[in-house]
Amino acid sequence: MGCLNVSLSVPRKIACAKGRNCRQARLERRKQQQRCSPLDWYQNLFELIDMRSFSNLWYWIALAVMWSTASHWVLGVPYDMVTRARGLGGQSELDLEELCAINVRRILLIGQMAGLWLLGLICFALSSLLLLGFAYGVEFAQAVFLLAFPMALVGLLSLSNARLIDQQALKGAALIRRLGRHRLFVQAIGVVSIFVTALWGMYQNLTIGAL
């Protein structure tokens, strides 16, 4: 009987020891998870949102919104006012002339007061993005450059047309034609920009995917 009790108590002791070891292992695992929780949510966030630019859906949404906004606002004037003035005339045309005159004077004033500073800062930023993106291979810099460089061209075009409207004192049908031509040029720049960005983005995704 004594031998039988000893033989029965030994498995119980082993089971209790295993149970304590399992509890201790669970506690240690929980402590490790609590310690690593700040890093875990950061890592999970980066896994959920792809931080690479050209494979990120938000980048392409931003590209589409940027160009749709740039083609809608012509020298700060919403293009529906231009179409309304072209079709109705009268008060709609007068409203267009007043709003366009305000925005033209504002653009020219910014160009006169801070034109050189803005030109230097924009050139510095674009050249930095160009070097970082295409010389050092930083994908984020490539993506920002492909957004910023065409918009810099749109800014130069806006400044040129604002100076032309102010010098020639365009009114009525001539002003409407000039605004329509400006919008056409902006849309052309946007089409070329989207095409080049899409090609470069597909090339980058295929290259990284192949690697």
Distance CA 62, CA 19 (A): 56
Q: What are phi and psi of 181, to 5 degrees?
A: -70, -40
CA distances 82 to 78, 107, 135, 175, Å, are: 7, 19, 43, 9
Main-chain phi, psi angles of 170, to 5 degrees: -70, 140
Q: In this predicted model, what pLDDT tens digit does every residue of 151-179 receive, in sequence order?
A: 999 999 999 999 999 999 888 889 999 99
Q: What span, in angstroms and rounded, lies between the C-alpha atoms of 106 and 86? A: 24
Give strand pairing partners of 77.
Answer: 74
CA neighbor of 104 nearest in space, from 167, 176, 190, 149: 167
Which of 115, 77, 119, 79 has the alpha carbon at shortest distance from 98?
A: 77
Residue (of 61, 50, 68) closest to 140 by Cα position:
50
pLDDT single digits (tens) 16-35: 444 555 566 566 666 665 55
Cβ distance 178 to 161 under 8 Å?
yes
Q: CA-based angle 167:169:173, to the nearest 5?
A: 130
Residue 14: band (very low, low, confident or very high) from pLDDT cuts 50, 70, 90: very low
pLDDT at position 208 is 72
pLDDT for 104 equals 94
97-143 pLDDT, tens digit each: 999 999 999 999 999 998 889 999 999 999 999 999 999 988 889 99
pLDDT of residue 10 exceeding 90, the answer is: no
Structure tokens at 27: 């506690």
